[in-house]
């Protein structure tokens, strides 16, 4: 074969492959790689911002890598607090308050107040810890340090263990507020038992362990590739498929084998038994925190969370009607009110807020799970502050 003919064949193959690659990219992305801005927007959707957002902790179930605050101690530099708020009061009389709970409690440190700035004549927003500010009004002469130690997606006994762990690290508190409720009931049944995890284990504990074994070595290259366009279809198709497969592997948990089931054999239980045992774990954890409060001489307030799936607990706004169908709906509507009765627990200080929104028509929920918007947080914070005022003033 003559050299010229060979070159023509190679060039032809190259052109055909590029034409096919160009069409494939158009088909998969809905745009042309020569439309650089739109094409890169498509590629950037495969950016992996944080391949691991939490890691399994041997005592408290997990550490959320989105936590903001580290507090000095002699034993560890872990990020154990989602947020630490300090009041502007310069008093030497310091009151340390600890908030425990799950994702719902995390949001009590994540509030934004919107207002109109008269000087600048435009809307402004200010980061504002609503609960801490409300508690400040109860103790105006004290400097408040408010520690939010909530754990994302947690349930009891993780709040109890988090409290123990913080004391083991040498920390102590004057007031401990534990904000829990729906997840204590739904997570053991919906998240743990389907994967053969015991109810008392952290939510999907064995899955969390398995996820940490995945290979994330493709992430660095992936995040470099999403910002590049070579304009050569064949090269771009290879790049596109590479980043898509990396994103799929990291975010969809593909190829992760959970060997937990081969080592465990949990007791067969029906739905009623699972939920009853879940309630017992919650109840015992609550009592243990109270017992610990007497031993360590701090004030313990147990707050039972409201939830939109509790029957007749609220007159829903049009927006909230979109939040009434969820995987938790059946369990909470059927069992939450029936199981969650803390009157017979003999807790000294409990605040049942299951029906705190009963007469509120405005939107207070912000998703289908359990979280509140700023108005909901304001209402709950007011209830907590009033409860503390009654007990301390």
Nearest by Cα to 148 from 184, 182, 113, 105: 105
Domain with CATH 3.40.50.1110 in the chain: 72-191+263-392
Lowest mean pLDDT among 164-173, 246-255, 344-353, 364-373: 246-255
Task: Decide if 63 contacts 110 (C-beta within 8 A).
Answer: no
**pLDDT for the residue numbered 169:** 92
Nearest by Cα to 371 from 289, 285, 305, 301: 305
Average confidence score pLDDT of the chain = 86
Question: Does position 113 have pLDDT exceeding 70, yes or no?
Answer: no
Question: Does position 314 have pLDDT exceeding 90, yes or no?
Answer: yes
- Reported confidence tier of residue 268, pLDDT bands at 50, 70, 90: confident
- Reported confidence tier of residue 50, pLDDT bands at 50, 70, 90: confident
Which residue did the predictor score with more confidence, 348 or 143?
Answer: 143
**pLDDT for the residue numbered 116:** 43
User: Could you give the CA distance from residue 34 to residue 40 in angstroms, rounded to a whole number?
Assistant: 10
- Reported confidence tier of residue 115, pLDDT bands at 50, 70, 90: very low
Is the four-CA dihedral 221, 226, 232, 238 of positive or negative sign?
positive
Q: Could you give phi then psi for residue 46, rounded to 5 degrees?
A: -100, 10
Task: Decide if 372 contacts 350 (C-beta within 8 A).
Answer: no
Q: Which residues are CB-contacts of 211 (< 8 A; sequence separation ≥ 6)?
A: 52, 253, 256
> pLDDT tens digit string along 358-393?
999 999 999 999 999 989 999 999 999 999 999 887
**pLDDT for the residue numbered 177:** 97
User: Could you give the CA distance from residue 23 to residue 13 in angstroms, rounded to a whole number?
Assistant: 15
**pLDDT for the residue numbered 365:** 94
- Which fold is adopted by the domain 72-191+263-392? Rossmann fold (3.40.50)
> pLDDT tens digit string along 125-173?
556 788 999 999 999 999 999 999 999 889 999 999 999 999 999 999 9
- Reported confidence tier of residue 117, pLDDT bands at 50, 70, 90: very low
For the chain, give the percent of residues with pLDDT over 90. 42
- Reported confidence tier of residue 19, pLDDT bands at 50, 70, 90: confident
User: Could you give the CA distance from residue 201 to residue 158 in angstroms, rounded to a whole number?
Assistant: 9
CA distances from 52 to 1, 62, 257 (A): 55, 12, 17
**pLDDT for the residue numbered 253:** 62
In the chain, alpha helices (H): 3-29, 36-44, 103-106, 130-138, 158-168, 182-187, 205-211, 219-225, 233-251, 260-263, 271-296, 329-331, 337-339, 374-392
Question: Does position 20 have pLDDT exceeding 80, yes or no?
Answer: yes
CA atoms within 13 A on the CB side of 9: 6
Which residue did the predictor score with more confidence, 7 or 5?
Answer: 5
Q: 244-280 burial string, b = 16+ CB within 10 Å, else e?
A: bebbebbeeeeeeebebeeeeeeeeeeeeebbebbbe
> pLDDT tens digit string along 91-104?
889 999 999 999 88
Q: Could you give phi then psi for residue 146, rounded to 5 degrees?
A: -110, 115
Mean pLDDT, rounded, for 249-272: 76
**pLDDT for the residue numbered 209:** 84
> pLDDT tens digit string along 284-300?
999 999 999 999 999 99
Q: 335-365 burial string, b = 16+ CB within 10 Å, else e?
A: bbbebbebeeeebebbbbbbebbeebeebbb
Question: Does position 64 have pLDDT exceeding 70, yes or no?
Answer: yes
Nearest by Cα to 201 from 266, 259, 293: 266
């Amino acid at each position: 074969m003559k050299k010229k003919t060979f070159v023509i064949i190679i060039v032809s193959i190259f052109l055909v492959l590029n034409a096919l690659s160009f069409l494939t990219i158009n088909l998969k992305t809905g745009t042309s790689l020569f439309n650089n801005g739109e094409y890169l927007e498509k590629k950037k959707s495969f950016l992996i911002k944080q391949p691991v957002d939490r890691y399994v902790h041997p005592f408290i179930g997990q550490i959320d890598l989105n936590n903001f605050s580290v507090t000095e101690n002699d034993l560890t530099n872990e990020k154990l607090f989602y947020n630490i708020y300090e009041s502007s009061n310069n008093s030497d009389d310091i009151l340390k308050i600890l908030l425990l709970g799950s994702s719902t409690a995390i949001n009590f440190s994540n509030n934004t107040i919107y207002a109109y700035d008269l000087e600048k004549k435009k809307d402004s927003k200010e980061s504002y810890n609503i609960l801490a500010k409300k508690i400040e009004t109860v103790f105006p002469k004290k400097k408040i340090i408010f520690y939010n130690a909530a754990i994302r997606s947690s349930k009891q006994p993780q709040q109890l263990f988090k409290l123990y762990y913080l004391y083991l690290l040498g920390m102590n508190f004057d007031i401990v507020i534990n904000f829990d409720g729906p997840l204590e009931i739904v997570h053991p049944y919906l998240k743990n038992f389907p994967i053969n995890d015991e109810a008392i284990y952290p939510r999907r504990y064995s899955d969390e362990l398995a996820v940490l074994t995945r290979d994330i070595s493709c992430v660095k290259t992936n995040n470099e590739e999403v910002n590049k366009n070579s304009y050569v279809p064949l090269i771009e198709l290879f790049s596109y498929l590479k980043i898509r497969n990396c994103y799929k592997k990291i975010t969809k948990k593909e190829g992760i084998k959970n060997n937990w089931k081969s080592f465990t054999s949990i007791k067969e239980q029906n739905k009623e038994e699972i939920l009853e045992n879940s309630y017992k774990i919650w109840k015992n954890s609550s009592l243990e925190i109270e017992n610990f409060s007497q031993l360590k001489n701090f004030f313990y307030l147990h707050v039972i969370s409201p939830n939109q799936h509790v029957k007749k607990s609220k007159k829903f706004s049009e927006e909230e009607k979109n939040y009434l169908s969820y995987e938790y709906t059946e369990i909470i509507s059927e069992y939450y009110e029936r199981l969650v009765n803390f009157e017979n627990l003999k807790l000294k200080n409990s605040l049942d807020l299951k029906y705190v929104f009963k007469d509120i028509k405005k939107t207070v929920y912000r998703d289908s799970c359990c979280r509140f918007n700023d108005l909901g947080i304001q209402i709950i914070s007011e209830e907590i502050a009033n409860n503390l005022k009654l007990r301390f003033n």
